[in-house]
A and B are shown apart, each in its own frame.
Chain A
Amino acid sequence: MSLNQSGWRPEMGSGNDGAAVDTFTGNRALMLEESLIFEIGSNDVTGVDFPEGDVVGSRLGDLSRTSPIGLPGLTEPETVRHYTRLSRQNYAIDLGLFPLGSCTMKHNPRLNERVARLPGFADIHPLQPVDSVQGALGLIHELADWLVKLTGMNSVAMSPKAGAHGELCGILAIRAALEARGDARQVVLVPESAHGTNPATAAFAGYKVEAIPATKEGRVDLEKIRERLGPDVASVMITNPNTCGLFERDMKAISDAVHEAGAFVYCDGANFNAIVGRVRPGDLGVDAMHINLHKTFSTPHGGGGPGSGPVVFSEALTPFAPLPFVEKRDDGFHLVEEETADEHHAHSFGRMVAFHGQMGMFTRALSYIMSHGADGLRQVAEDAVLNANYILRSLDDVLHAPFGKGPCMHEALFGDAGIAEGLSTLDIAKALIDEGFHPMTMYFPLVVHGAMLIEPTETESRADLDQFIGAVRSVVERAKAGDERLKGAPYYAPRRRLDETQAARKPVLVWNEPEPAAAAE
């Protein structure tokens, strides 16, 4: 039995709809309230049967645990029900469009899940003798080969655990390359429209961060970069296509200028999905770029990770790439680690993670890449860009498109101009929830007021796009007309707007037993 611990009861119907009724449980048909495991479980219940009988022997010294831990258990049926109920309070790509510009997700093919679970990949230990894991090393090598060829680069580091970790990998390689030639530089230039991870990464790697302004058309200002470049600049971090959904036309000129100044070009490859198969960053002079496997190559995002952020390198940076990596030799695949790194790898900047990276994501990404092949991946980019332009041109009469009618790349950017006084981008986003959609990215990039960044991906049908467009139009028209009810949205989600200020002011980050007085009520 599960009590309604939140204490909430639906309000009585107002009388004129006749539909809303109070319920004993707080549930509303399929929308089920679910308590915390700490409220429904018990420390002596377990859902796992172990062999019975006495356990002999103790070599724990005097450190045996004596105090209770406080970990409630549930039986298997209760466990399955608890998490199934929770799952139904989530939006997901399996349910509909996830138009989160610059973050988004495409459909996650289930073949990926099946192959990742083959025991030959899922049930092998990272420190097994390399002779016993030749298939796994072969898989990493094969995926690496695809990534190098798709990007037109020289090599790839597979170990970074996520996009931001990949950024760090790239910037550390750049710093190692500069230091190797005795050239300490202090500054990294980052466009104003960049993801927040870019400046955070550069700062984490010990650099001072300076912003580069954008032009009126939403691109990096080449002249401003040229003016600022000098012997103190280590790298310029460029997102291409950028977070305004635009291709950086001057990319090659930027790279040339950066190289001439003795610096390196870091490309944030979060939006590689827009150009895969049609453009190779290597042809544009990029020195390092991370690839978010979830975004371009369909690995699941799982409610916030795990990610995987391989980094491709130019020839100039290859010697500085991190350990470990896989190398194919005549007698099979080798894992180059600290001990096996010979003179060819003497400049490696070192190890970033305990083992070899996100193997479970590699299998999924390779499964996706092979499914599409060189021809399919090109089509992926084309459909993603077509879908985004379709959204841009279907909405630019109701929403302000700050950078014109396009073409855009993978995402369409709008501002909040024309929205009635007192209403905001946030209200539009929350109203979209009631329409059954996950909202777009809000208030990012920072260069556009009240930004709404919509990225549909290629895995949406035209009918789904049309329905989304219709919903956005309807909500925007209400916002322009000053419909105050938008401020209360969402009305139909499992929760109404949540009080984030209260959460931050007095953070409650773990569950605590309620005070006895409250419990007795």
Chain B
Amino acid sequence: MRYLPLTNDDRQAMLAKVGASTIDDLFVDVPEIARLNGTIPDLPMHASEMAVERHLSKLAARNLTAGDGPFFLGCGAYKHHVPASVDHIIQRGEFLTAYTPYQPEIAQGTLQMLFEFQTQVARLFGTEVANASMYDGSTACWEAVVMAGRVTRRKRAILSSGLHPHYVSVANTMAKFTGDTLVTGTPALTAEPDTDALIEQIDDDTSCLVVQYPDILGRIGDMTKLAEAAHAKKALLIAVVTEPVALGAIKSPGEMGADIVVGEGQSLGVGLQFGGPYVGLFGCSQKLVRQMPGRLAGETVDAEGKRGYVLTLSTREQHIRREKATSNICTNSGLCALAFSIHMTLLGEAGLRRMAALSHAMACRTADALTNIPGVELVNDHFFNEFTVKLPGEARPVVRALADKGILAGVSLGRLYPAEGALANGLVVAASEMTTQEDITALAQGLKEVLA
């Protein structure tokens, strides 16, 4: 019981102090029917650090990791190199084991960090402000749709067919309960996203247009026309960025007129972690800030006039507004936001641009190597670090066969869109600055063998 400081003598003395003869006296309010007299059956007893580590290490060893071989998966989670100092800093107890900064006088470390994070995210997205993070990209995306509904007082949202299908799924789940109408679609394997079709769907009841950039197939569409068309109907443009590193190479959504920009911050600092915890990014214009969900750190001064930071605009939040809050969100993703922010600080603009350029270059090389294989066709005209190829047959078994060879080849569209036969041959392949020429050669060779 290495985590329990009380000794048996302590317990006896403390029971005496509280006037109880046994610990059971303190549980008298539990109805008899629910009192357990011994330990819960069928569960193991306590274990040493050694034993726990051994058990979990065995489980860990049963997974093929991204570092074990050539790795090309993306679609909302990306493998990038995270400098060692990031993990060192987030493990400092003062960050790791701090609670939400409810007492700002003794939480300036977290609050200043969040203020810096908000500024970094806003600049990356090209928005005026950003919040202190959300759970992940998918929940940030839905919260943005809800926010657009509040701003426009409309309940019809158009989700582009290029939006990550899991994000669409989350929105569909929530919309069933909130009564929002969602217009959704399945992407076609075309070289460019269909901007005109999207524009045609905007009507006077539309609250927002939600567009992923780059999209699920890796395509990059100019959003300027979308923003103009949405604004002409007094609707908002929401841009979704699942790969923030891309914004080191391509224009920010804010520059193209997006009103709200949300995203998944996992690429920077956080790591793959089988899908979580990740960090949702959320930026918007200053005039919309009071409709924004989630925590916000703001600058102020203390009683001596020293600059300091506090959580602010909490009158939007559940602990004050209860059922009238902008969201029920209580937690953010503080430690992941810290990891993101440290990584971004280490990179700086120069580093981010270099990382983006290398990721793009490795993706170009990968695309060239794959399209040299007979029967493999590149779908995209343009892409950042991720692109889609059409294989001569279904991609899903190919991905499995390559995994058996130790090559994680990409995400098959069959996994993401099981009901869409037309997409079954699609394979989404991602590269990064960590991709090597050997990885590319191994992938191309492996794919050639599997297809043969």
Contact = CB atoms under 8 A, between A and B. Distances in A.
Interface in A36-56: 36-38, 41-48, 50-51, 55-56
A430 B104 CA distance: 10
B347 A350 contact: no
B265 to A, nearest CB: 12
Interface centre among B170, B272, B314, B418 (most CB of A within 10 A): B272
A301 B99 contact: yes
Contacts, number: 731
Contacts of A37: 116, 345
B408 A128 contact: yes
A493 B308 CA distance: 12
B5 interface: yes
A-B CB proximity, top 5 nearest: A73-B348, A120-B60, A355-B275, A302-B335, A135-B62
B38 to A, nearest CB: 9
B35 interface: yes
Interface string B36-53: 100110111111010111
B183 interface: no
A509 B298 contact: yes
Contact of A48 (B109, B317, B351): B351
Nearest to B50: A111
Contact of A370 (B44, B96, B167): B44
A304 B14 contact: no
A162 B277 CA distance: 10
Contact of A302 (B95, B173, B325): B95
Interface centre among A42, A83, A105, A203 (most CB of B within 10 A): A83
Contacts of B76: 126-127, 354-355
B213 to A, nearest CB: 9
22 contacts: A6-B306, A38-B116, A57-B364, A59-B381, A63-B251, A65-B353, A91-B98, A92-B98, A93-B97, A195-B319, A200-B323, A203-B323, A247-B27, A303-B95, A304-B334, A354-B167, A358-B277, A359-B274, A390-B14, A438-B99, A497-B303, A503-B312
B403 to A, nearest CB: 5
A507 B274 contact: no
Interface string B122-150: 11100011101101111100000000000
Nearest to A201: B328
Contact of A509 (B45, B296, B303, B358): B296
B330 A164 contact: yes
Given A278-B36, A339-B418, A496-B105, A149 B43 contact: yes
B106 A510 contact: no
Contacts of A197: 318-319, 328, 330
Contacts of B115: 36, 509-511
B300 to A, nearest CB: 4
Nearest to A429: B103
A60 B103 contact: no
The contact size tier of chain B is 35 or more
B56 A366 contact: yes
A125 B73 contact: yes
Given A305-B333, A383-B6, A161 B96 contact: no
Contacts of B56: 115, 118, 121, 139, 363, 366-367, 370
Given A123-B272, A279-B34, A36 B112 contact: yes
B225 interface: no
Interface centre among A8, A43, A56, A69 (most CB of B within 10 A): A69
B27 to A, nearest CB: 6
Contacts of A180: none
A278 B27 contact: yes
A481 to B, nearest CB: 23
A172 B276 CA distance: 22
Contact of B347 (A48, A56, A109, A353): A48
Given A120-B57, A303-B110, A379-B4, 13 more contacts: A60-B382, A83-B95, A105-B99, A108-B96, A127-B73, A131-B400, A196-B317, A305-B100, A306-B277, A350-B169, A351-B170, A507-B296, A509-B118
Nearest to A275: B30
B96 A374 contact: no
B345 A74 contact: yes
Contacts of B229: none
Interface stretch (B174-182, B197-205, B442-450): B174-182
A46 B415 CA distance: 39
A50 B355 contact: yes
Given A71-B124, A509-B289, A105 B97 contact: yes
A390 B346 contact: no
Interface stretch (B83-91, B151-159, B231-239): B83-91
Contacts of B307: 5-8
Contacts of A503: 298-300, 310, 312
Contacts of A80: 85, 88-89
Contacts of B348: 41-47, 71-74
B94 A95 contact: yes
Nearest to B62: A135
A308 B277 contact: yes
Nearest to B368: A57
A374 B43 contact: yes
A55 B166 CA distance: 33
B257 to A, nearest CB: 14
A284 B73 CA distance: 45
B260 interface: no
A391 to B, nearest CB: 10
A45 B382 contact: no
B31 interface: yes
Interface string B402-435: 0110001001000110110000000000000100
Given A108-B97, A125-B79, A200-B327, A353 B18 contact: no
A83 B59 contact: no
A207 to B, nearest CB: 9
A46 B345 CA distance: 8
B17 A393 contact: yes
Contacts of A11: 304
Given A48-B347, A124-B65, A100 B99 contact: yes
A114 B317 CA distance: 35
Nearest to A368: B3
Nearest to A282: B34
Interface centre among A34, A114, A165, A360 (most CB of B within 10 A): A360
A258 interface: no
A336 interface: no
B300 A500 contact: yes
B28 A149 contact: no
B15 interface: yes
Contact of A83 (B89, B323, B357): B89
A378 B39 contact: yes
